Structure 1
């Protein structure tokens, strides 16, 4: 268990939420630095930690605690993997439409901590859109809940957002509840070499793809889903080549030792990606203004692309990189306008900086 070259003095795997909360409080009382870990798929995200004394693994919290097919909701502990959750949901013809890169092995807690999503965000939105409740262990030993287990329960709703993408900086996620979706009746994968022009045409369809990915070589891959009649009609209208649906699993497995996520207004994405070096190895989601750059090894290229993204009103965040490179350019980029509010919230939840010190933007 190594994070940016730092190895903890101890690694523990609590078997219950209460035990995890107790150990977190004990570590905080001893002045230890704690990094929560799940599947370990994105331990390289964030700036290098200042200290690392204890790794708290959530793998011992691996129960799907509640599922309502009728209400289309599910609750699971943080150590449940996305694959395990979707296997269970599939028995009722439902799924959680997350398809992040660096798959498989993401845990529920890790997905919340990193706010990851994938190509399916084009149709279903991001984790933020279907997270309805959280339970979090705080450094003082309390277990705090926000939201609920049903979609209509919105008490504490904003606190759910506090923990999304925060790398556990304000508390360790121990359980989460989500709204889920019916699995599509029929799916087809089609592809084209038409680049941005064909991507724009696909986005104007009456039934646009549920996922649309464009590579730096100009290759387009679309995922069509719905009734068989509607999917066949859309495929015919596009006129692209039918492709192996196994592409999506292979695509989700993409990762790198130095990669970044670009998020900008959709119309600005081509201009921002033009700042990347030739052969940069990116895949973009044209409909939502997000791209992943899988060869982010050079500081000058990162800085130029980040400047372009920020001028367009977006961000470039390193999802993994060598520690020396992250110290040189920073993982997060310019502080957001809400930085002072974020600092106050961090001070309220973790005044001693017990959790992931130095890794998050505050």
Structure 2
């Protein structure tokens, strides 16, 4: 058998204890492998990649598995590289506020470690307890606080990458002020692991904020124009919210027990600054709206619940219908139109739709739960709506069987030839994460 042959060859240079001989069970999200290996060193990662490249084998890479339903239309590759053992802090320089870490470390593990030094990574990924820093960087993950934090591309200052031929390259560095040459980090961040396996990540850090609060302004559907005017006015002032996120009624009902559109405005700074901005919003908010303020611990608890309320690719499907997660990009204020469309689709389909979007950055995330036909129809309708707004829809989570029916990334962009050219140069044998990225790369 082919699998037996691969297994025998892997054992010649890979410790047997780090190979899962029986492979992995078929997974509804795919992106698995016939044989799973658990490298402990960069050299082991390079060895298995070089072997696969020379023998025309395919490789998938997995961290915490939260993004297993994101991209790819094959159940598995020949080999699955699991980063479960490849974790830990490589170097931390508190005085320089920089950190170098292995990609298998979960985001929460890193943040808990940094807490002792009163430091943190300024990112807010979903499912932080399960999501690994490698997966977050590979997908360029971000959440509502992207308005104040930026995305993974803004936090990463350096990477070590193992190419499919086994060579190890470094992009960027371990210091913040590094401006020599091209910023090659951005080539790999968000590439879904199709150009190389990340073996080290260097990040810039920020101090833990002294104070934090969350202002929740409630709007009815017929007062959304007030919400838009308020957001435009707020963004044109001196205040600097880290989040300006509009939630649809279904999500508001789940998290806040009130079925209304809710604008969540987050502030993080020293206490005097947070209080000043809070009072500023109090005076600016539209008349007739309801305002609720969550202070420090209450605000953190809200965000914790918020980040957990998404489908998890590492969890089995429960059989109660299909779950899908969509990322929708539009001009920032068109987020309101996206969420209104979600309400219309929810009324016309037998679906639960929980959506939210940033009125400062224009990225929306929509979770669909329901029957297969309704989910597929809703994805199509939201793509049509986004196209009318000159936007796009990317499907971030969907079972494998449905990913074969839906083009996860949508239409190929005009620059697809550039992506194809880079892939052909770096991974000509298409060894890594085949079909996982834009245009089936």
Q: Deviations over 1:287-322 (max 9, x none)?
A: 110111000762222122123323433321111112
Q: 2:293 aligns with which of 242, 252, 260?
A: 242
Q: 2:331 aligns with which of 265, 279, 298?
A: 265
Q: C-alpha separation between the residues in 2 aligned to 1:358 and 1:6?
A: 10
Aligned to 1:16: 41
CA shift for structure 1 position 156: 5.6
Q: 2:354 aligns with which of 274, 278, 281?
A: 281
Q: C-alpha separation between the residues in 2 aligned to 1:189 and 1:299?
A: 35
The CA RMSD over aligned residues, in Å, is: 2.0
User: Structure 1 pair 142/3, CA: closer, same or farther in 2 (3 Å)?
Assistant: farther
From the two aligned structures, give the one with the greater helix fraction.
Answer: 2
Aligned to 2:436: 359
Q: Deviations over 1:224-266 (max 9, x none)?
A: 2112112112222323322222100110112123111111221
Q: Does 2:327 match 1:295? A: no
Q: C-alpha separation between the residues in 2 aligned to 1:109 and 1:144?
A: 16
Q: What's the secondary structure of 2:425's corresponding residue?
A: helix
CA shift for structure 1 position 221: 2.1
User: What does 1:26-45 align with in structure 2 at a 5 Å threshold?
Assistant: 26-45=51-70
Q: 1:134 aligns with which of 141, 145, 159?
A: 159
Q: 1:214 aligns with which of 246, 250, 255?
A: 246
CA shift for structure 1 position 80: 1.5
User: Structure 1 pair 40/155, CA: closer, same or farther in 2 (3 Å)?
Assistant: farther
Q: 2:190 aligns with which of 165, 169, 175?
A: 165
User: Structure 1 pair 271/189, CA: closer, same or farther in 2 (3 Å)?
Assistant: closer
CA shift for structure 1 position 55: 0.8
Tell me if structure 2 keeps the 8 A contact 1:4–1:49.
Answer: no
User: What does 1:180-195 align with in structure 2 at a 5 Å threshold?
Assistant: 180-194=205-219
User: Structure 1 pair 54/266, CA: closer, same or farther in 2 (3 Å)?
Assistant: same
Aligned to 1:252: 307
User: Structure 1 pair 216/148, CA: closer, same or farther in 2 (3 Å)?
Assistant: same
Q: 1:48 aligns with which of 66, 73, 88?
A: 73
Q: C-alpha separation between the residues in 2 aligned to 1:284 and 1:274?
A: 11
CA shift for structure 1 position 267: 2.8
Q: Deviations over 1:70-117 (max 9, x none)?
A: 222111111111112212222222211111123322112111111101
Q: 1:343 aligns with which of 395, 409, 420?
A: 420
Q: Which runs of 5+ in 2 are unaligned?
A: 1-23, 250-260, 283-290, 312-322, 347-351
Q: Which structure would you say has the larger Rg? A: 2
CA shift for structure 1 position 54: 1.0
Q: TM-score, normalising length from structure 1?
A: 0.93
Moved more, 127-136 or 2-11: 2-11
Q: TM-score, normalising length from structure 2?
A: 0.77
Q: C-alpha separation between the residues in 1 aligned to 2:75 and 2:57?
A: 11
CA shift for structure 1 position 331: 0.5
User: Structure 1 pair 6/127, CA: closer, same or farther in 2 (3 Å)?
Assistant: closer
Q: What's the secondary structure of 2:213's corresponding residue?
A: strand
Tell me if structure 1 keeps the 8 A contact 2:74–2:400.
Answer: no
Tell me if structure 2 keeps the 8 A contact 1:49–1:359.
Answer: no
User: What does 1:66-85 align with in structure 2 at a 5 Å threshold?
Assistant: 66-85=91-110
